[in-house]
Amino acid sequence: MAKVRLSNLERRRLREECRELLSKHIGIKVHPSQVRLMPKSSDPYRWKIMPEKEEALSGLFSKNISDHSIRAYRELCEGVDKTFEAVSSTPPPTNALDSVVSLQGPEESFSAKIEHLENESARLFHELCQWRDKATAESKGRQLAEEEANRLYDTNQQLQDRIRDYSDRANYLTGRVMKCFEGLDKVLPVLEELKSGLTLGVSSG
């Protein structure tokens, strides 16, 4: 019994919530208790279902709100402005099923929304392509910069190698020159002695 009472309370809560939501969605002043899934000819609104949802949802609009189950209330709440919507009642429907119309009628609100989303998608895709092209160009620029940096690095390494080679040669030549000077330092005194001896010999003769 307790479970039955809880179920009834939940069903009542969802039914009232569903009426409130549908009433707000209709967009004109319709009291929640006066919202109908099968509008009368005098009601200023009717329901329009997206074509691909007609078969699945048409049963929801063939009963009064009070006759539905908890599951049906949840489907109605979740589908508002997504799978169905309220539109102006022109011309008035002739029977209950006529109040459930497809998207192919004169009203184009769903179509307008879809077209808007498609246009927005195309705009975003175009923007994405622009950013992708920009990123590609920047990537190529970075690649060229890296290649130039590598080239300059290799050139610098070659210059450093040549500098080391010249430095080694300079050190080698400096060493040879120093040895030459050392040899001269040894030879010059001997030459001076020989020169002095020859001078004395000439003078004595």
d(CA 38, CA 78): 19
Q: Is residue 196 part of a domain?
A: no
- 111 falls in which pLDDT band (50, 70, 90)? low
Q: Is residue 127 part of a domain?
A: no
Q: Which of 100, 16, 7 is nearest to 66 (CA)?
A: 16
Paired sense of beta strands 45-49 and 84-88, if any: antiparallel
In the chain, what is the straight-line distance between the N-terminal and C-terminal CA atoms, in Å?
160
Q: What tens digit of pLDDT does each residue of 184-204 get?
A: 777 778 777 777 777 666 566
Q: Is residue 194 part of a domain?
A: no
Q: Is residue 139 part of a domain?
A: no
Q: Is residue 35 part of a domain?
A: yes
d(CA 205, CA 57): 148
Q: What is the mean pLDDT of residues 73-80?
A: 90
pLDDT of 162 > 70? The answer is yes
Number of domains in the chain: 1
- 105 falls in which pLDDT band (50, 70, 90)? very low
Sheet containing 100-101, strands listed edge to edge, beginning at the edge strand earlier in sequence: 84-88, 45-49, 100-101
d(CA 1, CA 187): 133
Q: What tens digit of pLDDT does each residue of 116-140 get?
A: 777 788 888 888 898 988 888 888 8
Q: What tens digit of pLDDT does each residue of 26-63 get?
A: 878 888 888 999 998 888 898 899 888 888 888 889 88
In terms of pLDDT, which residue wins out, 95 or 133?
Answer: 133
34-43 in b/e form (b: 16+ CB < 10 A) is ebbbbbeeeb
Q: Is residue 28 part of a domain?
A: yes
39 within 8 A of 99, measured Cβ to Cβ: yes
Q: What angle do CA 147, 152, 156 make, to 5 degrees?
A: 150
d(CA 172, CA 146): 39
Question: Does 51 sit behind a cis peptide bond, omega within 30 degrees of 0 on the bond before it?
Answer: no
Domain that holds residue 13: 2-107
Q: Is residue 24 part of a domain?
A: yes
Question: What's the confidence (pLDDT) of residue 179?
Answer: 78
